[in-house]
Amino acid sequence: MSEKIQKSEGGREREQRIEKLEQLRGMGVNPFRYSFERTHMLGEAIQNGGELAGSGAEVVCAGRIMSIRKHGKTAFGNIKDSTASLQFYVRKDGVDEESFDLFKLIDVGDIVGIYGTLFRTKTDELTVKVTRLELLSKAILPLPEKWHGLQDKEIRYRQRYVDLIVNDDVMKIFRLRSAIVETIRRFLQEHGFLEVETPILQPIYGGALARPFVTHHNTLDIDLYLRIADELYLKRLIVGGMERVFEFSKDFRNEGMDRSHNPEFTMLECYAAYWDYTRMMEFVEQLFARLCEEFVGGFELKFGEHEIDLKPPWRRLSFFDALGEATDEDLKEMDAETLKELAKKRGLDVDGVTGRGGFLDLLFSELVEPGLIQPTFITDYPVELSPLAKIHRGDASLVERFEPYICGFEIGNAFSELNDPIDQRERFEQQSRMRAEGADEVHPIDEDYVRALEYGMPPTGGLGVGIDRVVMLLTDSHSIRDVILFPQMRPEGGREKD
RNA sequence: GCGCCGCUAGCUCAACUGGCAGAGCAACUGACUCUUAAUCAGUAGGUUCAAGGUUCGAUUCCUUGGCGGCGUACCA
């Protein structure tokens, strides 16, 4: 059986390369070396190519062989490291005998070290003229085809390492992702936010409405939940006096998967004492202005066929005004039954939807969300949908909350945080009643969190940002799987059947 | 979860209405000391996702299953 697996992976070429390993060892070459000292990254060599090419100075580089063009006693090829790709040139009378013999056994995909000098070919291409070659790691599986590369999405996601080797634009997206996160981190630190780490294993899940993953701690013999959000912990830190905190949080939600949802994803949450949601809206605009400056070079962003203008101020539109625009009706005073009729009249599927909040949410996501292409803050949500947000200062049926939308994506969520412990307890209890009525994704009551509020939390503005979606926007990626290195997949070869 | 589409050599893809499973790249052998999708000559490479069915004959048609893509639902 295992023979079958081995055969199916790489086929005959893998066998041939394994034979080469033995030949190499016979020549006294260790095909898997321990280390190698470089003098130049390929990017540096290229950047300083002007001086280096004239000087005859030695460069020592390392990387993966990406192509080889042999012509008898000479050969050209390309070598790639994390900074660049560079052409190399090997000729029989230019290298020592050992290196030339070794080169005969080198394949595309192998990782080598090269010593040489830079020169320009007659087509003016900067090239390393190799004087010595050393094998650092042999590759026994062949790389995908050089011209079409790796197309198969399944292999690209499952074997991301191959995708990264051959698809430079994929590498670029993940470098960009790192830079985006770093820019956001720096921006927050510049504004006095402290980066913290809070539990991923939580005894009570909260801070969002979603089904959790459950695991078990053997010593304590208790079930623990992988966090669906870190909100309640960060606000405990506000109570503790940290005043401005943030965390890049891997969150886990046991829900469906699609173009914009992966079971584990990255959320930025940040909280600022003495801010309210209006101040937080400005902060979001400033943050995106910084991201635009660094990664867009202006405020105009292209996403698919959309041209987005991220220049602040963004449009502010209240939840009920947005619904009013979409329906030509005033939904604010409607009860659950009337909203249900309205949804039906609009041809929406109301199966499984309960409560006034449920119907409002349905109507909003069907009729309003898809149209929110230009950056828009949807503000002032109905209280039913927001158990952790503070009652609106001007209207007790609303909360002070906003969600920024871009390209129809909800990219964040923010409120003036509810800091009245009595109100918070009532909202939790209201959630419990909804659970009893059949809603399965509601907050369990977190007594310790309420106790923390009873010690007094300053007025606080809080914000959550979906980092994966921000990266999608800034890289014009249309699937979350293109911005997550190892997206969740079904097990290869199917599930074991019991 | 549901619907549609796909799965053929290491990779990218062909194969008409059911009739000997093919090409390019990669590999292997040989020629070639400035090539860059190197070139030229030759060789080899397949459980056509799996199991079952229909048929003289299945990559092709049918059933079930697996995996993937897209859409849809769920995910405030």
Answer whether A128's CB lies under 8 Å from A59's CB: yes
Residue A453 CA to chain centroid, in angstroms?
Answer: 33
Average pLDDT value for chain A: 92
Average pLDDT score over residue span A294-304: 93
Q: Closest nucleotide (CA of A127 to C1')?
A: B34
CA-to-C1' distance for A96 and B24, Å?
Answer: 36
Identify the band that residue A494 occupies on the pLDDT scale cut at 50, 70 and 90.
low
CA-to-C1' distance for A170 and B11, Å?
Answer: 18
Instruction: Point out the residue nearest to B12 (C-alpha to C1').
Output: A148
CA–CA separation, A485 and A413 (whole Å): 25
CA–CA separation, A353 and A332 (whole Å): 18
Higher pLDDT, A79 or A367: A79
Task: Output b/e per residue, A143-179; b: 16+ Cβ within 10 A.
Answer: bbeeeebbeeeeebbbbbebbebbbeebeebbebbee
CA–CA separation, A412 and A404 (whole Å): 6
Instruction: Point out the residue nearest to B76 (C-alpha to C1').
Output: A385
Predicted-assembly ipTM surpassing the 0.90 threshold: yes
Of A419, A329, A319, nearest to A368 by C-alpha is A319
- State both tokens at A403: 């969600």
Q: Closest nucleotide (CA of A358 to C1')?
A: B76
CA-to-C1' distance for A497 and B57, Å?
Answer: 35
CA-to-C1' distance for A346 and B10, Å?
Answer: 53
Q: Closest nucleotide (CA of A144 to C1')?
A: B11
Instruction: Point out the residue nearest to B50 (C-alpha to C1').
Output: A493
CA-to-C1' distance for A55 and B9, Å?
Answer: 48
Listed ranges A5-19, A105-119, A302-316; the one with the highest mean pLDDT: A105-119
CA–CA separation, A283 and A193 (whole Å): 12
CA-to-C1' distance for A47 and B39, Å?
Answer: 32
Using CA of residue A107, residue A109, residue A111, residue A116, what is the dihedral sign?
Answer: positive
Label residue A226 exposed, middle or buried (CB < 10 Å: 0-12, 13-18, 19+). buried
CA-to-C1' distance for A11 and B9, Å?
Answer: 9
CA–CA separation, A302 and A246 (whole Å): 29
| Residues recorded for chain A | 498
Per-residue pLDDT tens over the stretch A334-359:
988 888 888 888 878 777 777 788 88
CA-to-C1' distance for A11 and B68, Å?
Answer: 22
CA-to-C1' distance for A256 and B73, Å?
Answer: 9
Q: Closest nucleotide (CA of A10 to C1')?
A: B10
CA–CA separation, A71 and A93 (whole Å): 14
Least confident of A122-131, A170-179, A202-211, A235-244: A202-211
Instruction: Point out the residue nearest to B44 (C-alpha to C1').
Output: A12
CA–CA separation, A288 and A309 (whole Å): 11
Covered bases, chain B (protein CB within 7 Å): 1, 9-13, 24-28, 31-39, 44-47, 65-76
Label residue A241 exposed, middle or buried (CB < 10 Å: 0-12, 13-18, 19+). exposed
CA–CA separation, A482 and A131 (whole Å): 41
Per-residue pLDDT tens over the stretch A189-199:
999 999 999 99
Identify the band that residue A153 occupies on the pLDDT scale cut at 50, 70 and 90.
very high
**What is residue A142's DSSP assignment?**
P
CA-to-C1' distance for A299 and B55, Å?
Answer: 65
Cis ω before A263 (30° cut-off from 0): no
What pLDDT, on a 0 to 100 scale, did the predictor assign at position A366?
Answer: 86
Res A128 pLDDT > 90: yes
CA-to-C1' distance for A158 and B73, Å?
Answer: 26
Q: Closest nucleotide (CA of A76 to C1')?
A: B35
Average pLDDT score over residue span A33-53: 96
Answer whether A491's CB lies under 8 Å from A205's CB: no
Judging by DSSP bridges, how do beta strands A201-202 and A111-120 pair with one another? unpaired
Q: Closest nucleotide (CA of A145 to C1')?
A: B11
Instruction: Point out the residue nearest to B49 (C-alpha to C1').
Output: A493
CB atoms within 10 A of CB A283: 19
Three-class SS of residue A269? strand
* Percent of chain A's residues with pLDDT above 90: 75
CA–CA separation, A413 and A135 (whole Å): 52
Identify the band that residue A52 occupies on the pLDDT scale cut at 50, 70 and 90.
very high
Q: Closest nucleotide (CA of A401 to C1')?
A: B76
pTM for the full model?
A: 0.93
Res A319 pLDDT > 90: yes
Res A10 pLDDT > 70: no
Res A211 pLDDT > 90: no
